A = this chain, B = another copy of it.
Amino acid sequence: MCNNLLIAQSGGPTVAINATLVGILKRAKVQKEIGKVYGARYGIKGILSENIFNLEHKLQDNMQDILLRTPAAALGSCRYKLNSINSSELEYERILNIFKKYKIKYFIYIGGNDSMDTVQKLSEYFKIKNINDIFIIGAPKTIDNDLFGTDHTPGFGSAAKFVATTFKELDRDCATYDIKAVTLVEVMGRDTGWLTAASALCHSSDTYGPDLIYCCERAFNIDKFLNDIKEKVEVKPNVLVAISEGIKNSDGRYISDIRINSEKDMFGHKQNSGCAKYLEGILNKNFPFKVRSVELNVLQRCASHLASKTDILESVAVGEKSVDLAIKGYSNVMVSINRCSNLGFYEVDYGFVDVSDVANKVKTLPSDFIDSNGVGVTKKAISYLRPLIEGELDITYEHGLPVFINLFNS
């Protein structure tokens, strides 16, 4: 009897992807319809290479609480996109055979928009093959918050909390000296400015917050930037700036690519420093004051000690919902988080969307989230973002450091 569940994780790591795994495991345990629960290591690549293991054997129930607080993908992940069915049918056949071998009835793939492409293609292949008894569900995750069909994505709230907290701390650091200085902080987001916008959350009675915020949804003009900086430095000695890694000029060319093409390193290689480092050079050329750049880098996606409780609890619920949908016979859908509007307070419920509405699409910041001058965010943006970073988890520390789960410790 085919009634087993297979889970895999895909795409970039987040702080919340394991919380969704925990949600799936919790719900699967109480659902009689589900037999064994398998994990594939390294996403769809792990299915293709039959790197599959019994998850219940590997993960005792008492480890779930720690798994919830462990960053990155505990099962391992991949960045692997299936080719079209026409060009790679053997690959699809291989997956189907593995599913048959392990008697998989339910497959839940936790990932972002590229991973939803996998859900969609696999669903399509099964449909072509008239296989109606395997149910494939996508569980969203990405720190980029760029998925359509869901109010926000698991993983984003925690990354946003890290960004806002770090900006709050940097604000204090910047205020230390009485000399004119500019601090440029590069925030992740190659295509969208969601995380960069979250830097504004630190503005409060004790914190001025970033003086200028540049999201990649608006064309970045270097002359305007120089003027913005000049104006700010005149009224405030320490200027703190948030910049999306993916800012582009009016031709749609990445600012970081302009740098890459202008400079080569001593070996003739292109340098892959980010846009903040590039802009640091430009400011240094134009102004006498001190300029430094900070790249928040991968810390944004793995700082689980600063996870948003809201994000983690929702991520668990997304995992639970994915199991419920699979058992009810849904397939080729992604779990969605829906914000209940008009309540006067923040509350969500969980639904689903057709994967074709999500896969390979990118949801950018709405234009009314960015202020008219393109250097800050609106109250509407703050209202949207604020609830997502609320709450802190109790972290288990041992000898001064958070405790994690490492399923493949060797």
Binding site for B on A (CB under 8 A): 13, 41-42, 45, 70-73, 76-79, 161, 164-166, 168-170, 172-173, 175-178, 201-202, 204-207, 259, 262-263, 265-267, 269, 271, 273, 277, 281-282, 284-285, 292, 294-299, 301-306, 308, 310, 386, 389-392, 395, 397-406, 408-409
Most chain B beta-carbon neighbours within 10 Å: one of A262, A282, A401? A401
Q: Which 4 A-B pairs have the closest CB atoms?
A: A389-B400, A72-B172, A169-B302, A173-B302
Most chain B beta-carbon neighbours within 10 Å: one of A41, A168, A169, A299? A169
Beta-carbon contact of A266 and B263 below 8 Å: yes
Which residues of chain B come closer than 8 Å to A172, judged between CB atoms? 13, 70-72, 302, 404, 406
Which residues of chain B come closer than 8 Å to A281, judged between CB atoms? 265-267, 269, 271
Chain A to chain B contacts (Cβ below 8 Å), 12 pairs: A13-B173, A201-B399, A262-B266, A265-B281, A267-B284, A267-B285, A269-B284, A271-B277, A296-B299, A305-B306, A390-B399, A392-B397
Q: A72-B172, A206-B406 known; 11 other A-B pairs, CB under 8 Å?
A: A42-B177, A79-B177, A164-B401, A169-B304, A173-B298, A204-B398, A207-B404, A295-B297, A299-B299, A308-B400, A389-B400
Beta-carbon contact of A265 and B263 below 8 Å: yes
Bound Cα distance A202, B170 (Å): 25
A383 CB to closest chain B CB (Å) equals 12
Bound Cα distance A169, B169 (Å): 20
Bound Cα distance A403, B169 (Å): 10
Which residues of chain B come closer than 8 Å to A71, judged between CB atoms? 169, 172-173
A7 CB to closest chain B CB (Å) equals 16
A197 CB to closest chain B CB (Å) equals 15
Beta-carbon contact of A400 and B406 below 8 Å: no
Beta-carbon contact of A170 and B302 below 8 Å: yes
A41 CB to closest chain B CB (Å) equals 8
Beta-carbon contact of A386 and B406 below 8 Å: no
Bound Cα distance A402, B172 (Å): 12
Which residues of chain B come closer than 8 Å to A170, judged between CB atoms? 298-299, 302
Beta-carbon contact of A169 and B285 below 8 Å: no
Which residues of chain B come closer than 8 Å to A204, judged between CB atoms? 398-399, 401
Beta-carbon contact of A76 and B178 below 8 Å: yes
Which residues of chain B come closer than 8 Å to A310, judged between CB atoms? 400
A63 CB to closest chain B CB (Å) equals 10
Bound Cα distance A408, B175 (Å): 9
Bound Cα distance A244, B13 (Å): 26
A407 CB to closest chain B CB (Å) equals 10
Bound Cα distance A13, B292 (Å): 15
Most chain B beta-carbon neighbours within 10 Å: one of A178, A292, A386? A178
Beta-carbon contact of A409 and B205 below 8 Å: yes
Bound Cα distance A295, B259 (Å): 19
Bound Cα distance A285, B271 (Å): 12
Beta-carbon contact of A294 and B299 below 8 Å: yes
Residue of chain B at shortest CB distance from A174: B72
Bound Cα distance A266, B263 (Å): 6
Which residues of chain B come closer than 8 Å to A166, judged between CB atoms? 299, 303
Which residues of chain B come closer than 8 Å to A302, judged between CB atoms? 169-170, 172-173
A381 CB to closest chain B CB (Å) equals 15
Q: Residue A295 contacts which of B295, B392, B404, B406 (CB distance < 8 angstroms)?
A: B295
Q: Residue A386 contacts which of B76, B389, B400 (CB distance < 8 angstroms)?
A: B400
A171 CB to closest chain B CB (Å) equals 8
Beta-carbon contact of A177 and B76 below 8 Å: yes
Query: Given A305-B169, A404-B168: A176 and B389 within 8 A (CB)?
Result: no
Which residues of chain B come closer than 8 Å to A397, judged between CB atoms? 392
Which residues of chain B come closer than 8 Å to A70, judged between CB atoms? 172
Bound Cα distance A117, B402 (Å): 39
Bound Cα distance A76, B402 (Å): 32
